[in-house]
Structures are given as C-alpha cells and as structure tokens.
C-alpha cells in the first residue's frame, strides 16, 4: 500500500472505531465491561498483552494493554491514557448522542471529543505500532469514571506500582486541540452530612438544629477561603492564582417551625498546591469533631457529622524540565505550554514518577455539551502525532 493509502486506511479505521465506541453507553457509574472488552480484543489481535483492574463489584473496569518493544533500548515506554466514561446527556441533542453522526467535517456524539476520539486514534494506530520494529514499549491505559473525580485511575495506578511500571512518558489525550497542557489545579469534592435532633420550632434548645450547625461549618469554610487567598504561592501560574473553595449546595429542614434534624453541604476545593488541600481538610475536620460535634452531642448524643469524599483529583504540577512535554514539542514543533481549568488523570501518573503531558484531539469547548463533536481535522492531527511517535520509536 502507498503511504497515502495507508494513512487513509488508518483514518477510516479510527472513524469506524470511534463510531463503535460512541455506541457503548458508558456514562460514568455505568457498566463499561463491553467497551473494555471491545478495546481488549483489538489489542489482543495485534499481539498485545493486557490486564484489567476492577471496582469492588466488577461492574466497572480499567484496561492496561502493552505492546512489547522488539528490541531493548534505553527509551522509556509511552503510555496512552484515556478515560472510557462520558458525562450524561440531556434531551436537547439534534442527533442521537450514542450514534456517531458525520456532518460536513465534524463527527457528533457523546464522548467524541471527551475522550473516545483519542482512544479511537490509539486503537486505530495500534496495528502500525505492532507491525513496526519498535524499540520501546507502548502501553494503552483506558480507565473508568474519570468524570466523577477519577474513581477508576487510582485503582489502575496502584496495580502499575505493584508491577513496577513507574517510569515512562504518559500522554493523557483529553481534548486540548493537540496543544501541550502541562498543569492544572487539583479538584477535591466533598459532601458533609449533619444529623441532629428534630423538635418543635418554639423550643430550639430541646433539639439539635442540623441546618444551624451546617451554617457554622460553612462560615468556617468561608473564613478559610480568605486564608487561602492570603497564602497564595508566589508566581502561581493558575487563574485565579490561589486555591479556591466554594459551596455548591445546601439542603436541610422540612418546615419553618420544625427544628431541622438533617442537613447536607456540598463543597469543593481547587488546590494550587497539595498542602492547601491538606490544610483545609485538617482545619475542617478539627472544627467539626472538636467544636461542633461535642456541642451537638451535649443535647443529643447520637448526633453525627460525616464528611464524604466524593473525589480528590490531585493537581497536575508544571515541571519545567518535563520529558513528556519536550517529547511532544520535538514531534509537533509546538513549544507552547498551556494551563487548563479542568481536572484530568495526569497528576496521578505524575505522582508515581511518570513524566506526563495532557495533549489530545478536539476542544474542551465541546466537552460536556449538547451536540458534542470532534472535527475530522483533529482526528487527523492526532494520528499524525502517533505517526511521529512511531518514527521516533523504531529501529532503522
Ligand atoms: Zn475527559
């Protein structure tokens, strides 16, 4: 086959695979076994080995596939990292969100840009890697439930550490229009539950008002928010340049004249440094357990304050000597580096010593939206990056 025919074939194949991937309704929290098996089959057919890691019920699964190098070298392995879950859909779509639909130069469907497009590209390119005399290992990392605060990836990362896979270059293919992104804040999400004692509104001292205790908890959070601003690290690259904190919701009480026995507070924290996250958690836990709870228990010993961790996506820190960024820059000729406001799995790979970059096809502008799409141009750009990686990783 001529080179042009060959690249046409890979492109067509990537669209076919993307179409198949879109049809799996892998909304976060749902069973993603079918999609993972589909990916695993493609990888196995070309000679890759793989292992899976699961949630407790084996309902949701991560896949890690490996194409071994054909020759020993000092080159670090490449990890292609993508999440298989997508965010829910609303009724306002003009196309079926789970049927990939090509209109003009775009392909529509839930997950096209975030981030099944990237997964499709890596799977379409996998046979080429397999047929090439590669001098480094190529890994394919496909996780579950990234969109709900990275629930799947930590389970996989754990297993990687057990298997001593802790060096390499990881490309997280979240939609960046193929630009290099080398940092983002962390994103920690919590719900704190308060349970007191109901009673008649005319006798507030006889009950334990969960709403009132929750509001004191919120006030403390607001106080810490100001402290975080004052403690902002110098030369912080983020916008805004300090750790933010906000209350996303509060629910409690049933009537004006009834002491509220239950209340919940949803809140989030976006640390610019890990230390800030630890600080807020320590302060809040102390305030809840040493100040508020003893007061509640004085009236009603069964009172409860419980903080549930919804998820803690750790930040992705800028590394000025990033091997991963340099690797991509050398292949694309683009030396620019950007910071984004969304969270990814990048910090998790970085934390175990793997040099990581976020770079993938499509735009975050279309992610999580009605009529999500990826342009065919972006798919082609991603495939040409993969070709560059192949050329950089083959024995002449
Ligand atoms: Zn994503």
Residue 259: the pLDDT is 98
Q: How far is CA 88 from CA 25, 361, 389, in A?
A: 9, 21, 33
| 337-379 confidence digits (pLDDT tens) | 999 988 999 999 999 999 999 999 999 999 999 999 999 999 9
| 232-287 confidence digits (pLDDT tens) | 999 899 989 999 999 999 999 999 999 999 999 999 999 999 899 999 999 999 99
Name the nearest CA neighbour of 81 among 179, 187, 174, 182: 174
For residues 178 and 201, state if they share a domain. Answer: no
State the Rg of the chain over Cα: 24
Instruction: Collect all residues with Cβ–Cβ distance below 8 Å to 14 and sequence separation of at least 6.
Output: 120, 121, 123, 124, 125, 379, 383
**CATH number for position 120:** 3.40.630.10
List phi, psi (to 5°) of 31.
-65, 125
Structure token pair of residue 389: 């990686």
Which of 313, 344, 359 terminates a domain? The answer is 313
Residue 7: the pLDDT is 85
How far away, in angstroms, is 311 Cα from ligand 1 center?
15
pLDDT classification of 290: cutoffs 50, 70, 90: very high
How far away, in angstroms, is 278 Cα from ligand 1 center?
25
Residue 149: the pLDDT is 83
Q: Which of 85, 261, 276, 312 is catalytic?
A: 85
For residues 14 and 149, state if they share a domain. Answer: yes
How far away, in angstroms, is 176 Cα from ligand 1 center?
10
For residues 168 and 193, state if they share a domain. Answer: no
pLDDT classification of 2: cutoffs 50, 70, 90: low
Q: CA–CA separation, 138 vs 140, rounded Å?
A: 7
How far away, in angstroms, is 145 Cα from ligand 1 center?
10
- Relative to beta strand 106-108, strand 101-103 is antiparallel
Which of 295, 313, 331 terminates a domain? The answer is 313
For residues 43 and 78, state if they share a domain. Answer: yes
For residues 170 and 221, state if they share a domain. Answer: no
Say yes or no to pLDDT of 6 above 90: no
Q: Which of 40, 114, 145, 146 is catalytic?
A: 146
For residues 70 and 194, state if they share a domain. Answer: no
What is the number of structural domains in the chain?
2
For residues 348 and 373, state if they share a domain. Answer: yes
Q: How far is CA 378 from CA 10, 14, 139, 152, in A?
A: 14, 12, 22, 27
Which of 289, 313, 337 terminates a domain? The answer is 313
How far away, in angstroms, is 263 Cα from ligand 1 center?
32
Q: CA–CA separation, 15 vs 10, rounded Å?
A: 9
Residue 396: the pLDDT is 61
Annotation says 85 is catalytic: yes
DSSP annotation of 86:
B
DSSP annotation of 204:
G
How far away, in angstroms, is 146 Cα from ligand 1 center?
7
**CB burial class (10 A; 0-12, 13-18, 19+) of residue 54?**
middle
For residues 195 and 217, state if they share a domain. Answer: yes
Annotation says 278 is catalytic: no
Q: How far is CA 81 from CA 77, 89, 140, 390, in A?
A: 13, 24, 6, 17
| 69-122 confidence digits (pLDDT tens) | 998 889 999 999 999 999 999 899 999 999 999 999 999 999 999 999 999 999
Q: How far is CA 381 from CA 7, 138, 270, 278, 363, in A?
A: 12, 19, 32, 40, 13
pLDDT classification of 217: cutoffs 50, 70, 90: very high
For residues 231 and 353, state if they share a domain. Answer: no
For residues 337 and 210, state if they share a domain. Answer: no
How far away, in angstroms, is 114 Cα from ligand 1 center?
5
How far away, in angstroms, is 109 Cα from ligand 1 center?
14
Q: CA–CA separation, 231 vs 70, rounded Å?
A: 51
- Domain extent for 260: 187-313
How far away, in angstroms, is 211 Cα from ligand 1 center?
35
How far away, in angstroms, is 260 Cα from ligand 1 center?
39
How far away, in angstroms, is 111 Cα from ligand 1 center?
8
Decide if 378 contacts 361 (C-beta within 8 A). yes
Name the nearest CA neighbour of 325 among 172, 177, 174, 175: 172
**Taking all residues of the chain, what is their mean pLDDT, rounded to a whole number?**
95
| 143-187 confidence digits (pLDDT tens) | 999 988 889 999 999 999 999 999 999 999 999 999 999 999 999
* Residue 143: strand pairing partners: 83
Decide if 314 contacts 351 (C-beta within 8 A). yes
For residues 108 and 200, state if they share a domain. Answer: no
For residues 250 and 305, state if they share a domain. Answer: yes
**CB burial class (10 A; 0-12, 13-18, 19+) of residue 58?**
exposed
C-alpha atoms less than 13 angstroms from C-alpha of 394 in its C-beta half-sphere: 13
**CATH number for position 268:** 3.30.70.360
Q: CA–CA separation, 204 vs 142, rounded Å?
A: 53
Instruction: Collect all residues with Cβ–Cβ distance below 8 Å to 291 and sequence separation of at least 6.
Output: none
Q: CA–CA separation, 177 vs 116, rounded Å?
A: 14
C-alpha atoms less than 13 angstroms from C-alpha of 199 in its C-beta half-sphere: 14
Residue 189: the pLDDT is 93
Residue 72: the pLDDT is 87
């Amino acid at each position: 086959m001529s080179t042009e025919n060959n690249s046409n074939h890979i492109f067509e194949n990537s669209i076919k695979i993307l179409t198949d991937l879109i049809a799996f309704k892998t909304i976060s929290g749902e069973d993603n076994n079918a999609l993972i098996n589909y990916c695993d089959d493609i990888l196995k057919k070309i000679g890759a080995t793989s292992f899976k890691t699961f949630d407790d019920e084996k309902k949701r699964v991560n896949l890690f596939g490996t194409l071994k190098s054909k020759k020993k070298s000092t080159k670090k392995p490449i990890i292609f990292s993508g999440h298989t879950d997508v965010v829910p859909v609303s009724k306002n779509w003009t196309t079926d969100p789970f049927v990939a639909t090509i209109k003009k130069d775009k392909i529509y469907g839930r997950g096209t840009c975030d981030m099944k497009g990237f997964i499709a590209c890596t799977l379409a390119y996998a046979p080429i890697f397999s047929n090439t005399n590669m001098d480094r290992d190529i890994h394919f990392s496909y996780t579950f439930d990234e969109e709900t605060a990275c629930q799947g990836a930590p389970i996989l990362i754990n297993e990687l550490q057990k298997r001593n896979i802790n060096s390499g270059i990881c490309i997280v293919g979240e939609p960046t229009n193929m630009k290099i992104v080398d940092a983002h804040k962390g994103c920690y999400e919590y719900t704190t539950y308060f349970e007191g004692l109901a009673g008649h509104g005319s006798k507030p001292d006889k009950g334990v008002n969960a709403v009132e205790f929750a509001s004191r908890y919120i006030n403390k959070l607001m106080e810490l928010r100001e402290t975080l601003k004052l403690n902002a690290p110098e030369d912080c690259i983020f916008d805004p340049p300090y750790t933010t904190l906000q209350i996303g919701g509060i629910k409690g009480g049933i009537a004006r004249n009834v002491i509220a026995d239950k209340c919940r507070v949803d809140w989030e924290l976006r640390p610019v440094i890990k230390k800030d996250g630890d600080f807020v958690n320590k302060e809040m836990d102390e305030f809840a357990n040493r100040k508020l709870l003893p007061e509640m228990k004085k009236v009603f010993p069964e009172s409860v304050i419980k903080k549930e961790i919804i998820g803690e996506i750790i930040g992705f820190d800028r590394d000025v000597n990033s091997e991963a960024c340099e690797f991509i820059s050398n292949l694309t000729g683009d030396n620019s580096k950007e910071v984004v406001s969304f969270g990814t799995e990048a910090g998790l790979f970085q934390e175990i010593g793997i040099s990581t970059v976020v770079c993938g096809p499509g735009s975050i502008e279309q992610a999580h939206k009605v009529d999500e799409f990826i342009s065919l141009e972006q798919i082609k750009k991603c495939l040409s990056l993969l070709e560059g990686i192949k050329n950089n990783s083959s024995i002449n």
